[in-house]
Every structure is written in C-alpha cells, then in structure tokens.
Amino acid sequence: MPPLREMSPRILQLASLYHDAVVRLLEDLSPRAYKSEIADEIKKISLRESGLRFYAVQSASELNDFCASGGRKIYKLHEGQIANQVACTSGVETFLVEPLFLRLSLRDQVLLLVHERLTPLRDKFGGKNYSAIARFTTGFGEYIDLYKKEAEGTYPILNNDETNRLTIFFISTEEIQFRSSNPTENSFQWRAQCLAVQQEVLTSALETI
C-alpha cells in the first residue's frame, strides 16, 4: 500500500465550514433534506476520528493500480470544462495523486475531497451518479464563492448564466440527496430560484473561508 497521509488542520477547518454551508443550504431548500448523507459525508472529512484513510500515490498510472478498472477517467463538466482524475475512493479509503493534489488551492483540495466522499453514495437502483457528483462539486464551489462575496458586503446581481449554473447545482444536489435522476415538480429545485437571488449572508463562519 502507498503511504498514508493526514489532512492538514486547514483542510479540516475548511471542510467543517463547508459542512455547515451545505447543512444551511439543504435546510433552506427543503425540510425533507435536513438529515442528509451529503452533509454526513462532508462532515467526515473534518474529523480525524472518522476512520477515513488517505493514501498518496505519485502518478496517474499508480492511481490506476488502486482504482476500478476502466482506464483513465476524464470528467466533462458544464461549458466544456474537463477535469482529469486526481483521486479515487473505495469505502473509507481515498487515493490521491499527491503531486497534483498539492498543486491545488486549499479550496479546490477540499472540493476534491468532497467529490470523493460523495462517490460511495449509490442511487436507489444501486448505481453511482458520477455526473451529478461532478456537477454538485463544481456548483458548490460557485455557491461558496457567491456567499463569500455577500459575507464581505458585496451583493452581486446574478446574470442568466450564473442563475443557470446555480440551478444545475441545485438539481444535482437533489439527484444525490434523494437518489433520483428524475426530479419532480414537488422537489426543492423548483424553489431554488428565489434562494439564488436572495441578498443574505450565509453564516458568519463563512467570512473566514
């Protein structure tokens, strides 16, 4: 096995704040989502005693020794963005391409770990919705950036593209949360539009992110 790595205190702290942010998001969107496996998985990142194990590999080829078969994975995101694979997860074990991981910003390191913790979640048919997880991770970063601006006293007016990206984020949140790729008109995504344009601060904790 490759060497074990411990996440830095800064990663643990930021993961804890991201957990608080997603709990607030889900509470605002739907009371049904108050108990959330999304939030539970993000919380694990911030707790050293959670039982998660992180292993450092040195290349993508070495990563493939520990990942599921199927070759090199490339995630296609919105607007033609492409992200190469930096990590893979099986249960409580996550394997990281350390040279690539260390080049990421603190924010992107935590978002990558969020992505990895969501991959063990399966939909109601027993499959994994990698597309929704990728869209959630990307959208969650934008959601955090928006509310950071509001915490600093800047209240941006969202343009159509920004509103659409947040709507995609809310839909992917539902797909993961409720284990379904077919959201209904009773779901919280249809109430997401008003949240996207609210001019309010998420939490005072986000001021430190």
Return the higher-pLDDT residue of 142 and 199: 142
Quote the tokens at residue 63.
């990563």
8 Å CB contact between 181 and 123: yes
Return the higher-pLDDT residue of 158 and 209: 158
Q: What is the pLDDT of residue 47?
A: 92
Q: Name the burial class of residue 5, with classes exposed (0-12), middle (13-18) and buried (19+) by CB atoms within 10 angstroms of its CB.
A: middle
User: Strand runs (DSSP E) across the chain, as ranges?
Assistant: 4-5, 53-57, 74-76, 82-84, 87-90, 93-97
Q: What is the pLDDT of residue 128?
A: 78
8 Å CB contact between 86 and 114: no
Give the chain's end-to-end CA distance (angstroms, integer).
Answer: 34
Q: What is the pLDDT of residue 190?
A: 43
Return the higher-pLDDT residue of 162 and 113: 113
Tell me what the pLDDT averaged over the chain comes to. 77
Q: What is the pLDDT of residue 75?
A: 47
8 Å CB contact between 65 and 53: no
| Nearest CA among 52, 49, 48 for reference residue 13 | 48
pTM over 0.75: yes
* Confidence category of residue 68, pLDDT binned at 50, 70, 90: low
| Nearest CA among 86, 101, 89, 93 for reference residue 50 | 93
pLDDT score of 39 more than 70 = yes
DSSP 8-state secondary structure symbol assigned to residue 117: H
* Sequence-separated (6 or more) residues with CB below 8 Å from residue 88: 63, 66, 67, 68, 94, 95, 116, 119
Return the higher-pLDDT residue of 24 and 107: 107
Tell the residue number behind the tokens 């499959």, with chain if given. 127
SS3 of residue 116 by DSSP: helix
